[in-house]
Amino acid sequence: MLALSNLRERWSGFLATFVTVLTGVALTTATLVVYDSTRPRVEPRLAAASVLVLPPQALDPDGVPKDRVPWSPDEARPLMGELGALPGVASVVADRSFYAQAFLDGQPVEDEGALEAGHGWSSARLAPYELRTGRAPAAADEVVVDRALGVGVGATLTVNITAGRTPFHVVGTVDGPGYYFTDDFAARQEPGVRSIALVAGEGVSADALAAEARDVVGDKASVVWGDDRSELQPEHMAHKRFLGTQLIGAMAALGLFTTVFVVASLLALATGLRRREIALLRMIGATPSQVRRMILGEAGAIGLLGSLAGCAVGLGAAPLLRGILVGLDVTPPELHLRVAAWPLLTAATIGVGVSLLGAWWAGRRIAAVAPVEALSDSEVEDPATGRTRRTVGLVVLGLGVVLAVVTAAAGADNRVNTAVLTTMALIVAAALLAPVVVAPVGRVLTLPFARRASATALLVRAELRAGAPRAASLAAPVIVVVGFAVLLSGMVETMRAAYPAGAALALEGQVIVTPQGTPGNTDEVVDANPVGKAALPTRAFVRDADGELTVIDVLGSRDPRWNRPGQAVLGATTARLLGVEAGDDHEVRFADGATVRLRVAQVLPDDPGRGDFVVSRELVRAHDPAALTDDIFVPARAEPTSVVPGTAVHDAVRYALDDYDTDARLTDSLATMLIVVAVGYGGIAMANSVTMAARGRRRDFAVMRAAGATTRQLLSYSAAETCVVVAVGALLGILAALPPLAGMASGLSQATATEVGLQVSPSYLAAVVLGSLALAVGASAAVTWWAAARGEE
Amino acid sequence: MITVGHTHTSDAVQLHDLRKVHGRGDRSVAALDGVTMGFPRGSFTAIMGPSGSGKSTLLQCAAGLDRPTAGRVVVDGVDIGGLSERERTEMRRDHIGFVFQSFNLVESLTAAQNVELPARFAGRRVPREEVDAALAAVGLAERARHRPGQLSGGQQQRVALARALVTRPAVLFADEPTGALDTATSREVLETMRRLVDEEGQTTLMVTHDPTAAAVADVVVFLKDGRIADRIVVDSDSDVRNGASIATHMARLEA
């Protein structure tokens, strides 16, 4: 009864929490709905493949299950025989995908999925794609193509494959994407088997077939059917999805963090302002647990209302977010939003959970308020900041410092995430320790005014000392806004300085042959550019020091220093991972399923330009016929005179900048979106808490008016106080962002082998701080003016 | 009648050699310095004294809001010194009523809801008629659906009295109940309190510095420096009722 009445009658006091929960839940809903919609779906090409049998996964160097280990043809054959003998199976297909891309009029046909567009003819029955015209391929130089390509039966078509541009006879067409060669040809292009597809016989259900298959393969393979078949997805989609997931993941994490943080500080502030009311309840017989239940009840109801509204707003915002992601080209093609129940339920649960958690934190001590406080004339603030709060603050601070060090050591993939995590930890620490810091720092800041005759300086300095917890609550959102704004913009600036510098340095005096319209350089391109670095990358499997099968990147090099048959050159980190030294032998399993024993010729310091595991180019080509070559780095003196179609030749420095610009566009948008979230959200919180605090002080203002203060003096007082609090918050925010930025700069310096300084744009920083200041002072002035005007009635 | 120096088992509240020391060592101040007093059921006692005489401390200790340094407090036959925090809360809820100078009511609840709140905390529902009867007893039957913001200061105090009344407390503690009111509304509230004592037999203990307010009590106890300095029995017909002689007593004490 009481909790609901409180909500009904004092909605303005709870409005701030409501708005915060609403914003947080809306953000979470939108990101989850989009995330859910971008989850991989079963490829149309595999629609009729009832069951997929996939080889086991290897771990990546961090111990996370990653690539599946392709079966060798000899391993796959008996397995396929056993599976084919199952009663429910109509056909068994070793499903192969490899690079194939048609050239029309001498130019590559645009196809994002080209890297996996080539298949054996038997894969066509997995869709199934029926022949529209012509017949199945029967010879190695025959191909069946998509009717949409516009090439008819009988024509000769140039198809770019790993070897280079090759003429094929078109012998048939189908209504589906891809290039279908003979199965023998496919097996030569990609000998390893990454997937065995089973087509169920008439009247056999996929799950029954899956169960049968599982009995056959035991733990030698995973058996998937139904929606789980989406695990087999084209690499280019997986990559885009990864980028998109990174972005919305970061948004969701930031939104969640800000919600928890702001709701907790708002509820702490609101509850602190209700000490007298709670004391009254205690006086007339409420037990601490009843008070706690009341506070939790209010927060739960507010959380529920905010969550419901937030879900609605989030659903409305999801298409907007989708639009942004599509604009950034980080979504799989034809992304349709679908609204499932789980994103809404998750977001709403988070909303309610966060407000309950915040209320629990706020109510943990206030519930035990001494009833006698109801008798006292003034609202007394909680005198102690609390040992718990300080202890937790120091622990989180320590965690933040550790994370800052980790940031410096983190690899490129994790650097941004650890930096964000570090900042979160330091922001929480700053907010927890703010009551201790705000008074002394504020007093130092106001020192120049202390000797003035004005009452404002006197009041502000006294208030900072007496009302430290409240000042800290006001500073909290400022810490978040400034902390994240500085971190994210600094991150972009620092990376902008680091990457082109490092890349350009390494590329001085070279030209670069890059694929254009194709996913990589074919052997034809490599042969046309016989001088310079032309790394052939592949994924290979090795036992690490603990004997676990681990997937690593292996580079085939034609550099005479490393191009030695039977030998490998390892980076120090990889050597440590595998537990080997120079002179040891180690086995490497390649994409074709063959295992080769290599001698570790040298262990050298890590160098991304060389590679972590370098072998001879011929070795990689022999065991991974589908691999395409990376950019070719040609010394300027050997600059090619002619350009192979499907490639372009660039000046190195220009290329580094262009390459960076592509990355930068993504990073910039990511940072911009996150800054909008953090600043916008923090701004709402800031206005809310300033308003709430000012309203709680109406009585102080009445006393000051009675003591002869003019409205102008009241306004100048509250503005001055807000300024000091914002200044302290901004200072703490900057302090929270600097360690992770410094860690990042040092990490980048090592990675690019150039001196990278910490970059923060002063004008940007000024804009954020002044913006916060304007917002907070505006809000507090408005409420003060309103309170003062009411006082005159 | 009021007993000073010794107590009877029939008393609603008994204070035995009550001491309360604030602070420690050299800086310690004895707010109460050995007070023994009994308040019989159905009596109306006013406690007066200059600032710092210990009258508020006395009330807080007697009501179980503050723990005395030494001595015993017995409310309705129970020694509250031995009670846990929870038991003290329940004791306040079920056996003690309170009215303070201001901020007596929960702003978000109506007058009627405020009246039934203590019972709700005890997990009981109070029948509508009882709530209405309690509000009628303080003359606010038609204001049951109003919120505190819509009531005058005097009306708010009378709602607080109704709330105290509905639980049938063994004793009603009032701390400067008229301190924030003007003369006319003061009289309204004091008359209501007097009527509750006369008609309902409500044991009442009121701290006040206003001689006019004290004049409605049966007995006025004067405190000075944490000790009982004097007591006057108020005759219903004498000129004491106008508060003049009480004011004279006060003046003498403060001198």
pLDDT recorded at residue A374: 62
**Can you tell me the mean pLDDT for A182-191?**
93
Amino acid at A434: A
Q: How confident is the model at residue A74 (pLDDT cuts 50, 70, 90)?
A: very high
Find out whether A475 and A729 touch, Cβ atoms under 8 Å. yes
- B56 CB neighbours in chain A (<8 A) are 375
Strand order in the sheet with B78-79: B3-4, B29-40, B11-22, B70-75, B78-79
User: Is the CA virtual torsion A463, A467, A468, A472 positive or negative?
Assistant: negative
Per-residue pLDDT tens for A551-575? 999 999 988 888 888 899 998 889 9
**Which member of B56, B100, B113 has the closest CB to residue A374?**
B100
pLDDT recorded at residue B96: 87
**Residue B87: closest CA among chain A residues belongs to which residue?**
A287
Cβ contact A284–B93 (<8 Å): yes
Judge whether A352 lies within some domain. Answer: no
Find out whether B178 and B153 touch, Cβ atoms under 8 Å. no
Judge whether A167 lies within some domain. Answer: yes
Cβ contact A283–B65 (<8 Å): yes
**Residue A287: closest CA among chain B residues belongs to which residue?**
B89
**Which member of B66, B105, B120 has the closest CB to residue A1?**
B120
Alpha helices in chain B (DSSP H): 55-62, 85-95, 111-121, 128-137, 153-166, 183-200, 211-214, 244-254
Cβ contact B85–A280 (<8 Å): no
Per-residue pLDDT tens for B201-252? 889 999 988 888 888 888 889 888 888 888 888 776 555 556 777 777 777 7
Residues of chain B with pLDDT under 70: 1-9, 103, 236-242, 255
The verdict on B146 touching A (C-beta cutoff 8 Å) is no
The whole-angstrom separation of Cα A738 and Cα A723 is: 22
Give, as one character, the DSSP assignment of residue A374. G
pLDDT recorded at residue A379: 45
Judge whether A563 lies within some domain. Answer: yes
Judge whether A39 lies within some domain. Answer: no
Cβ contact A2–B175 (<8 Å): no
ipTM of the shown complex? 0.78
The whole-angstrom separation of Cα B208 and Cα B214 is: 7
Per-residue pLDDT tens for A151-162? 999 999 999 999
User: Is the CA virtual torsion A156, A161, A166, A171 positive or negative?
Assistant: negative
The whole-angstrom separation of Cα A350 and Cα A433 is: 26
The whole-angstrom separation of Cα B131 and Cα B129 is: 5
Per-residue pLDDT tens for A636-682? 887 777 888 888 888 877 777 776 776 677 777 777 777 787 778 77
Please tell me whether residues A655 and A514 are part of one structural domain: yes
The whole-angstrom separation of Cα A575 and Cα A613 is: 9
> Where a domain ends, among A191, A224, A245?
A191
The verdict on B103 touching A (C-beta cutoff 8 Å) is yes
Judge whether A537 lies within some domain. Answer: yes
Please tell me whether residues A418 and A406 are part of one structural domain: yes
Find out whether B100 and B152 touch, Cβ atoms under 8 Å. no
Place of tokens 């009032």: B174
Place of tokens 């800290």: A472
How confident is the prediction for chain A on average, in pLDDT? 83
**Nearest partner of B130 among A177, A499, B118, B182, judged by Cα:** B118
The DSSP secondary structure of A713-741, one letter per residue, reads HHHHHHHHHHHHHHHHHHHHHHHHHHHHH
CA angle A333, A337, A339 (to 5 degrees): 150
**Residue B164: closest CA among chain A residues belongs to which residue?**
A284
Q: Give the tokens for residue A491.
A: 């991150």
Q: Is the pLDDT confidence value at A229 over 70?
A: yes
**Nearest partner of A631 among A605, A651, A613, A616, judged by Cα:** A651
A657 Cα distance to chain centroid: 24
Per-residue pLDDT tens for A325-374? 888 777 776 677 888 888 899 999 999 998 998 888 877 777 766 776 66
The whole-angstrom separation of Cα A34 and Cα A31 is: 5
Give residues with Cβ within 8 angstroms of A203, minimum separation 6: none
Please tell me whether residues A473 and A532 are part of one structural domain: no
Residue A607: phi and psi, rounded to 5, are -155, 110
- If one counts the domains in chain A, the total is 3
Cβ contact A9–B92 (<8 Å): no
Give, as one character, the DSSP assignment of residue A317. H
The whole-angstrom separation of Cα A652 and Cα A502 is: 12
**Which member of A9, A283, A372 has the closest CB to residue B107?**
A9
The verdict on B109 touching A (C-beta cutoff 8 Å) is yes
**Which member of B107, B118, B147 has the closest CB to residue A284?**
B118
Burial of B1 per CB tally in 10 Å (0-12, 13-18, 19+) = exposed
Cβ contact B108–A283 (<8 Å): no
**Which member of B93, B100, B109 has the closest CB to residue A5?**
B109
**Can you tell me the mean pLDDT for A197-211?**
89
Q: Are strands A89-94 and A196-200 parallel, antiparallel or unpaired?
A: antiparallel
Q: Which domain holds residue A155?
A: 97-191
Please tell me whether residues A622 and A726 are part of one structural domain: no
Q: Is the pLDDT confidence value at A167 over 90?
A: yes
Judge whether A672 lies within some domain. Answer: yes
Judge whether A403 lies within some domain. Answer: yes
**In Å, how far is B238's CA from the nearest CA of chain A?**
34
**Residue B167: closest CA among chain A residues belongs to which residue?**
A284
In the structure, how many helices (H) and strands (E) does chain A have?
20, 24
**Residue B66: closest CA among chain A residues belongs to which residue?**
A372
Interface A–B counts its CB contacts (< 8 A) at 72
**Residue B119: closest CA among chain A residues belongs to which residue?**
A285
Could you say which of 3.40.190.10, 3.40.50.300, 3.40.50.460, 3.40.50.720 is the CATH number of the domain covering B3-254? 3.40.50.300
The verdict on B36 touching A (C-beta cutoff 8 Å) is no
- A281 CB neighbours in chain B (<8 A) are 106, 117, 121
- A285 CB neighbours in chain B (<8 A) are 89-90, 92-94, 118, 121-122
Please tell me whether residues A127 and A151 are part of one structural domain: yes
The whole-angstrom separation of Cα A483 and Cα A600 is: 47
User: Is the CA virtual torsion A274, A276, A281, A282 positive or negative?
Assistant: positive
The verdict on B104 touching A (C-beta cutoff 8 Å) is yes
**Nearest partner of A179 among A160, A200, A203, judged by Cα:** A160
Cβ contact B113–A280 (<8 Å): no
Please tell me whether residues A654 and A536 are part of one structural domain: yes
Q: How confident is the model at residue A381 (pLDDT cuts 50, 70, 90)?
A: very low
Count the Cβ atoms, other than its own, within 10 Å of residue A341. Answer: 7
**Which member of B56, B66, B98 has the closest CB to residue A284?**
B98
Burial of B193 per CB tally in 10 Å (0-12, 13-18, 19+) = buried
What percent of chain A is predicted at pLDDT more than 70?
A: 91
Judge whether A231 lies within some domain. Answer: no
The whole-angstrom separation of Cα B212 and Cα B190 is: 9
Convert B88-110 into a string of H (helix), E (strand) and C (coil). Answer: HHHHHHHHEEEECCCCCCCCCCC
Q: Is the pLDDT confidence value at A209 over 50?
A: yes
Please tell me whether residues A693 and A615 are part of one structural domain: no
Please tell me whether residues A598 and A621 are part of one structural domain: yes
Would you list the domain boundaries of chain B?
3-254
| Interface with B, mutate which of A274, A275, A283, A372 (most B CBs under 10 A) | A283
| Interface with B, mutate which of A7, A277, A284, A291 (most B CBs under 10 A) | A284
- B175 CB neighbours in chain A (<8 A) are 375
- B85 CB neighbours in chain A (<8 A) are 288
pLDDT recorded at residue A385: 47
pLDDT recorded at residue A677: 78
**Nearest partner of A464 among A438, A432, A497, A483, judged by Cα:** A438
- Cα separation values, A329 from A395, A407, A652, B71, Å: 41, 28, 26, 80
Count the Cβ atoms, other than its own, within 10 Å of residue A335. Answer: 16
User: Is the CA virtual torsion A520, A523, A529, A533 positive or negative?
Assistant: positive
**In Å, how far is A293's CA from the nearest CA of chain B?**
11
Place of tokens 């610009």: A661
Per-residue pLDDT tens for A245-302? 877 887 888 888 888 888 887 787 777 777 778 888 888 878 888 888 888 888 899 9
pLDDT recorded at residue A793: 41
**Residue B105: closest CA among chain A residues belongs to which residue?**
A280
Give, as one character, the DSSP assignment of residue B143. G
**Which member of B60, B85, B113 has the closest CB to residue A372?**
B60
Q: Is the pLDDT confidence value at A590 over 90?
A: yes
Q: Give the tokens for residue A237.
A: 């989609």
The whole-angstrom separation of Cα A77 and Cα B41 is: 101
Per-residue pLDDT tens for A485-544? 888 888 878 777 776 666 666 677 788 888 888 989 999 999 988 888 889 999 999 998
Please tell me whether residues A495 and A531 are part of one structural domain: no
**In Å, how far is B199's CA from the nearest CA of chain A?**
23
Per-residue pLDDT tens for A94-141? 999 999 999 999 899 988 888 899 999 999 999 889 999 999 999 999
Q: Which residues of A touch B (CB under 8 A)?
A: 1-2, 5-6, 8-10, 276-277, 280-288, 290, 370-372, 374-375
What part of B 186-245 touches A (C-beta under 8 Å)?
Answer: none
